[in-house]
Structure 1
Amino acid sequence: MTNAKIHPQALAEAAGAEMYARDAASQGLGMKLIEIRPGYARMTMPIRADMLNGHQTCHGGFIFALADSAFAFACNSHNHNTVGAGCTIDYLAPGRLDDLLTAEAVERTMSGKTGIYDVMVTDQEGRMIATFRGKSHRVSGHLVPVHG
């Protein structure tokens, strides 16, 4: 593949497919990559009984994991190996058993090797569950080999 000849959308889809194939954690939590574009990813995760805390709501760590995974897919969608450098999350409402959560990650800015991404987590009714902001850092390498 020649980097200049690959359409950005095709590259994002190839990078997303490769990353998902390697991501046992997201797969194990039932997450699915629904959509990926350059700088964008949308993922879902059903809330299972083993994800409930002592209040019988979804443990915040699982909500965080979904938001963090969507963030990871969005910032790797340009096919440059990219890692999280920091993040914050605000929990707005509880997730409940059998809810289907959706995390939508959007690139807000990219400057040099650093990017900022916002992730909104909602339930199947569109109710806001959490907001997440992540800062990414580009490292060496690619998910999908490119030549050129």
Structure 2
Amino acid sequence: MNRIALAAALTLVWSGAHAAGTDPVVQHPANAAPASGQDLPSAADATNAMHQATAELQKAQPQVQEAMRQMPKMMKQMQPAMQAMAKEMPAMMRAMAPMMRTMADTMPKMMEAMQPAMESMAREMEPAMRDFGKDFGREMQRTPAPTKP
């Protein structure tokens, strides 16, 4: 299977998992939204999650470097498809213009309707976020960074 097909397949799998709610990033406990009335994760939990993510990124470094090395070849392979898409772009933009105008016309009304709810949510979240920020800062100073595996 060539790399472009593989990338497309992985993208479809990820988007399907995301839509189905089974995306591993969304399902990861560090990314879980607290249920209504539930406390935010502690600063220690957030710090540990950050250190774990850093370690995972370090483990992935060789794969990232290989992908970067392959990038020029992949870009060259994709060039005909990109050129074909570029030729179609003006027609697509013309076809989308009415929808875009409608969205632009309704956006101010939608934002105005959402404003009270957004302000209320911000007021409710402010104390918890302030406390979380203080705890997170203290925990970052107290917790040593992980060593390389």
Normalised-by-shorter TM-score class: under 0.3
Q: TM-score, normalised by structure 2?
A: 0.26
Structure whose residues are more often strand by fraction: 1
- Flag the structure with more relative contact order, 1 or 2, with Cα contacts below 8 A and sequence separation at least 6: 2
Structure whose residues are more often helix by fraction: 2
